[in-house]
Structures are given as structure tokens and as C-alpha cells.
Amino acid sequence: MLTLIKRSEVYAPSGIAGDKIGYIKDNIDVPKQLVNINVIDADGKLAFSRIY
């Protein structure tokens, strides 16, 4: 499972918050296997959860 935190316009992995993965308008690169992605917005609420 990969949890991403939305910081302004940037998604950051929760473990290293602040490191840029990609902007909202871009695709987020994830491993090719089945991945459950949770995106948390700035106030800590779940923005969306998606399984790839």
C-alpha cells in the first residue's frame, strides 16, 4: 500500500513528506503490481482511495 499526502499541489509519500512525486495534473508513477493508493489532503482527510 502506498499512502500519499497532498501538500499544496504536490503529492508526497507519507514517510518522506515534502519529497515531490508529481503534481496533481500529472500521473503518479506507481509499481506495476496491484497497489492501493490513499491520498490524504492537507487537513488529514482521505481525498480519495484507488486500487490500481
Nine-digit cell string for 27: 500521473
* Kind and range of the H or E run holding 3: strand 2-7
| 39 vs 16 pLDDT, higher one | 39
Nine-digit cell string for 13: 509519500
Whose cell is 506507481? That residue is 30
| 49 vs 25 pLDDT, higher one | 49
Q: How far is CA 45 from the centre of its chain?
A: 13
pLDDT in tens, 3-33: 665 555 555 555 444 444 444 444 555 555 5
Positive or negative, the Cα torsion across 13, 49, 26, 23? negative
pLDDT for 29 equals 59
pLDDT for 6 equals 59
pTM of the model: 0.29
| 36 vs 28 pLDDT, higher one | 36
